[in-house]
Amino acid sequence: MNEQILRALDSVTAERAHDAVLGVRDLTVRFRLRGGRTVAAVTDAAFDLAPGECLALVGESGCGKSVLASALLGLLPRNAETEGTAWLAGETPPGDGRGALDLLAADERTLARVVRGRRIGLVPQSPAAHLTPVRTVRAHLAETVRTLTGTPRRARRAAAEAAAERAAFPVGHLDRYPHELSGGLAQRAATALALIGDAPVLLADEPTTGLDRELVDRTADELRRHVDTGKALLLITHDLAAARRVADRVAVMYAGRIVEIAPAARFFGRPGPRHPYARGLLNALPEREFTPIPGLPPELSRLPEGCAFAPRCARATGACEVRPDLRAGVACHHPHQDAEGADRA
């Protein structure tokens, strides 16, 4: 990919950030533990999400992706503490003239009545836990249609079936209860519910878990169509193939921090990721080098003072004893500068 195209991609990304519908700045989430200790699961996360854009948040399990998502919707447990700001454009509490709603400062009533489902749709990581066990999938869909769209009763059945079709949920299973669903079917039911309200922002936490490759592609394509209607999508996933199919930009998390943000075309093509960890994720794929990253992620309660990836990184030097900031899209003292190790898109 030539430099002129890359500059054009960067220009588009900057323009979308300027018109962001969701903005996150210095978001930190800590959990209070017994004995007075605290563990930081997310540290200083910052990004913007624009209408018509998908940002894929990727990284190994336990890196803080789902905690970040829960913080945005006020779904953290009671022992969690948050700092920073996360604002949602176009929604303000009565009497507030700022033009945006601070999600971290909003009370439960505002989040429940204004945000969840209406302004931010959610595909949860564990969908079965979010489905009422005594109601069928059809009943879930019909009730969500009624609540979010005000569709007349006589039209709700058709609307529920249309929602199921969008998420590739088989109509013949609509009258089943949650405990009668496989993990993949529960995932598709949750996706159907999240798409009903056409919320300006969709937060999808591992929406392809439990699906075979064909359904992964179909789900990814439906999410892309949703984005192409002007909606914003924050896709949390460990499936880099799904991310490549949907994303406009990619944000990589490691040990609670975002270590790289890049346009998807640059990330998956040339010159490729700049952070050694991000490049290692791609090189671990079977279609790439199929080489795993050596070592294990650090425990969040025992993070080093410097770069958390340094113990696993072949490029580490004494400079990595100082924690790098996220500058020019990458938090690394020794970032890759060329197409080394990256495949052409």
- Of residues 2 and 212, more confidence is placed in 212
Q: Helix 137-149 to helix 153-166 angle, to the nearest 10 degrees?
A: 110
Q: Which of 2-16, 98-112, 308-322, 328-342 has the highest mean pLDDT?
A: 308-322
Is residue 8 scored above 80 in pLDDT? no
Is residue 18 scored above 80 in pLDDT? no
Q: What is the CATH number of the domain that holds 210?
A: 3.40.50.300
In a domain, 176, yes or no: yes
Across residues 14-23, what is the average pLDDT?
72
On average, the pLDDT of the chain sits at 88
- 187: burial class by Cβ within 10 Å (0-12, 13-18, 19+)? buried
Across residues 106-119, what is the average pLDDT?
94
Strand order across the 257-263 sheet: 120-123, 201-205, 232-237, 54-58, 249-254, 257-263
Give the pLDDT score at 78. Answer: 94
Is residue 13 scored above 60 in pLDDT? no
Query: What is the secondary structure of 206-268 as a DSSP string?
Result: STTTT--HHHHHHHHHHHHHHHHTT-EEEEEES-HHHHHHH-SEEEEEETTEEEEEEEHHHHH
209, 236 in Cβ contact below 8 A?
no
In a domain, 220, yes or no: no
What is the count of structural domains for the chain?
2
Give the pLDDT score at 211. Answer: 87
Give the pLDDT score at 126. Answer: 85
331, 260 in Cβ contact below 8 A?
yes
In a domain, 222, yes or no: no
Instruction: Report the distance separating Cα 98 and Cα 191, nearest Å.
Output: 32
192 and 207 assigned to the same domain: no
Give the pLDDT score at 327. Answer: 85
Tokens of residue 45, six digits = 């996360």
97 and 188 assigned to the same domain: no
91 and 178 assigned to the same domain: no
101 and 241 assigned to the same domain: yes
Is residue 92 scored above 50 in pLDDT? no
163 and 72 assigned to the same domain: no
Instruction: Report the distance separating Cα 198 and Cα 343, nearest Å.
Output: 36
In a domain, 48, yes or no: yes
In a domain, 221, yes or no: no
Instruction: Report the distance separating Cα 307 and Cα 303, nearest Å.
Output: 9
131 and 205 assigned to the same domain: no
**Structural domain harbouring 251:** 1-107+200-214+227-345
Across residues 225-230, what is the average pLDDT?
94
193 and 207 assigned to the same domain: no
80 and 147 assigned to the same domain: no
Give the pLDDT score at 99. Answer: 67
101 and 127 assigned to the same domain: no
298, 234 in Cβ contact below 8 A?
no
Give the pLDDT score at 256. Answer: 96
Give the pLDDT score at 339. Answer: 45
189 and 300 assigned to the same domain: no
Tokens of residue 98, six digits = 């700022």
291 and 344 assigned to the same domain: yes
Instruction: Report the distance separating Cα 269 and Cα 273, nearest Å.
Output: 9
In a domain, 112, yes or no: no
pTM confidence score: 0.88
- If you ran DSSP here, which 8-state letter would residue 113 be given? I
In a domain, 113, yes or no: no
Across residues 320-341, what is the average pLDDT?
85
Tokens of residue 146, six digits = 């009624």
163 and 209 assigned to the same domain: no
Let me know the angle formed at the C-alpha of 319 by 317 and 325, rounded to the nearest 5 degrees. Answer: 125
